[in-house]
Amino acid sequence: MNFREERPEIAGKVIFEEKFASTRDAKNSFLEEALYKLREEAGLSLANSLDARLVLDELIGNAIDHGNKGDVSKHVTVTLYSVDGGWVATVEDEGGGFDPKDLKTDFDAIELTAPSGRGLALVEMYAKGLTFFNGGRGACVRFSTEQHV
């Protein structure tokens, strides 16, 4: 897990970008179209679709719940890129961000039965890299097309 101030430059082709309201319905609608685009334009295999959905669902859910605090007047913007050997997603919210020191990063100490707190551990497990940027108002993940073949 990395932290940086500025949005990372992605050397790839934008295959899908959408800005949507901070609602579960908008998130679910986005996920369906995003997974289709990733399969069609970035070589995402059906086997890796579940991993991709899990990671995007966690990051977008965090943007809605923690970043935008469920405020439906705020939006989430997700951009998907096709890159050499895989794909990249950026997820950005309109919230106040967070201090990296406040983030739980000791994933070995996560309570598996707790009602929350496992999402970023799952993202770290399935994605090749996780970077937070813009004061915690954005996240960037990388995937390989050969991830779980």
Contacts (Cβ under 8 Å, ≥6 apart) of 85: 144, 145, 146
Judge whether 116 lies within some domain: yes
Residue 26 is assigned to a structural domain of this protein: yes
Residue 52 sits in a domain whose CATH number is 3.30.565.10
pLDDT digits (tens, 9 = 90+) for 27-61: 999 999 999 999 999 988 888 899 999 999 999 99
76 lies in some domain = yes
Q: Which two tokens stand for residue 68?
A: 């935008």
Residue 96 falls inside a structural domain: yes
Domain count, the chain: 1
Range of the domain at 10: 2-144
Tell me, what's the pLDDT at 59? 96
Residue the block writes with tokens 């319905």: 25
The count of other CB atoms within 10 Å of the CB of residue 72 is 11
pTM equals 0.90
pLDDT tens-digit map of 66-125: 999 999 999 999 999 999 888 999 999 999 998 877 776 665 666 666 666 678 888 888
Q: Give the Cα separation of 17 and 30 in Å (integer).
A: 10
Domain-embedded: residue 149? no
How large a percentage of the chain has pLDDT more than 70? 87
Q: How many residues does the chain have?
A: 149
Q: What is the pLDDT of residues 87-98, one digit of tens each?
A: 999 999 999 998
- What b/e sequence results for 121-137 when a residue is b if at least 16 CB atoms lie within 10 Å of its CB, and e otherwise? bbbbebbeebbbbeebb
CB 119 within 8 A of CB 58: yes
